[in-house]
């Protein structure tokens, strides 16, 4: 299937590893020019090199930035504009805040969670939207979490802050839909990333078992009886970024192998 996005320009957050890196790989394979963003310069450059080598695609740049800061999104946008002069696709993806019980977190932890998972989305959109408006075309895709649909034990900071992003995205989709710009949220369940392994190790330590045992238990609720792969997320995002997905907007799309018990 021709996705119709060859030559487009994408910004992908959290691209040094996991789902972010896989998404950068998937878009580059479609001929998209990709700006890969993450906090750690060395890890990001290594990831960008992998994407370039695996796709024979040299239209990839690495931009080290903290997207949870007030200045990070502007730095990324300005670098991309100076390099390619436009932005077509924005993939908002950042790590999650630390796990814990609802009663455990102080104001500092709550503030940091919202800067990371809510304001990073708002600030990145604020940067790219004028360019997308001018060309009457754009794709905004937010990687959030299945926790906004069905809460996951210990992820209260992630759930609450990302719920804000869900509401924002829904209203934004209504505002800019007539301009040819779509806004969608993808809600991954258990996808095998470094963060998932960290959560498994945390639970394993508390339960006196191994991380591998916890990962097996995490897979049990899924209809597929397995953990998801980052490349499966990349395929979904590439489609949402495409010309073919022009009539899909304002949605929350679950990628969890059928694990969610919600009927809508």
CATH number of the domain that residue 148 is part of: 3.40.50.720
Same-domain check for residues 131 and 234 = yes
Structural element, H or E, at residue 19: helix 18-29
Average pLDDT over residues 81-89: 97
Which domain does 217 fall in, by range?
A: 192-227
Cα 114 to Cα 13, 68, 264, distances in angstroms = 16, 9, 26
The Cα 19–Cα 30 span in angstroms is 17
Assigned domain for 40 exists: yes
SS3 string, 87-152, reads CCEEEECCCCCCCECCCCCCHHHHHHHHHHHHHHHHHHHHHHHHHHHHHCCEEEEEECCHHHCCCC
pLDDT at 57: 66
pLDDT at 198: 85
Assigned domain for 2 exists: no
The Cα 24–Cα 4 span in angstroms is 16
Q: What crossing angle do the helices spanning 18-29 and 41-55 adopt, rounded to 10°?
A: 30
Same-domain check for residues 98 and 221 = no
What's 244's DSSP letter? G
Average pLDDT over residues 137-146: 96
Same-domain check for residues 98 and 149 = yes
Average pLDDT, the chain: 94
Same-domain check for residues 200 and 98 = no
Same-domain check for residues 219 and 109 = no
Same-domain check for residues 99 and 196 = no
CA atoms in the 13 A half-sphere facing the CB of 94: 30
Give the pLDDT band (50/70/90) at residue 82: very high
Assigned domain for 261 exists: no
When divided into structural domains, the chain yields a total of 2
The Cα 179–Cα 246 span in angstroms is 11
Assigned domain for 1 exists: no
Same-domain check for residues 127 and 56 = yes
Same-domain check for residues 140 and 217 = no
* Tokens encoding 145: 């979490």
Give the pLDDT band (50/70/90) at residue 14: very high
Cα 252 to Cα 149, 156, 186, distances in angstroms = 9, 19, 6
Same-domain check for residues 92 and 156 = yes
Same-domain check for residues 80 and 211 = no
């Amino acid at each position: 299937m021709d996705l119709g996005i060859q030559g487009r320009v994408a910004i992908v957050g959290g691209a040094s590893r996991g789902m972010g890196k896989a998404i950068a790989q998937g878009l580059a394979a479609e001929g998209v020019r990709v700006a890969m963003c993450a906090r750690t310069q060395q890890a990001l450059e290594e990831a960008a090199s992998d994407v370039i080598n695996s796709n024979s695609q040299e239209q990839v740049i690495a931009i080290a930035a903290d997207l949870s800061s007030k200045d990070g999104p502007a730095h990324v946008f300005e670098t991309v504009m100076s390099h390619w002069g436009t932005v077509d696709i924005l993939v908002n993806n950042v790590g999650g805040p630390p796990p814990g019980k609802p009663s455990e977190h102080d104001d500092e932890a709550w503030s940091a969670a919202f800067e990371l998972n809510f304001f990073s989305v708002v600030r990145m959109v604020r940067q790219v939207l004028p360019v997308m408006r001018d060309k009457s075309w754009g794709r905004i895709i937010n990687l959030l979490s299945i926790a906004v649909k069905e809460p996951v034990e210990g992820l209260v900071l992630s759930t609450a802050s990302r719920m804000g992003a869900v509401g924002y995205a829904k209203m934004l989709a209504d505002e800019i839909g007539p301009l040819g710009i779509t806004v969608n949220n993808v809600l991954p369940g258990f996808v095998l990333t470094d963060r998932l392994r960290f959560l498994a190790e945390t639970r394993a330590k508390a339960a006196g078992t191994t991380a591998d045992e916890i990962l097996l238990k995490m897979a049990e609720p899924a209809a597929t009886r397995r953990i998801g792969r980052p490349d499966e997320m990349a395929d979904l995002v590439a489609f949402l970024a495409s010309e073919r997905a022009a009539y899909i907007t304002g949605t929350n799309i679950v990628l969890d192998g059928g694990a969610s018990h919600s009927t809508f």
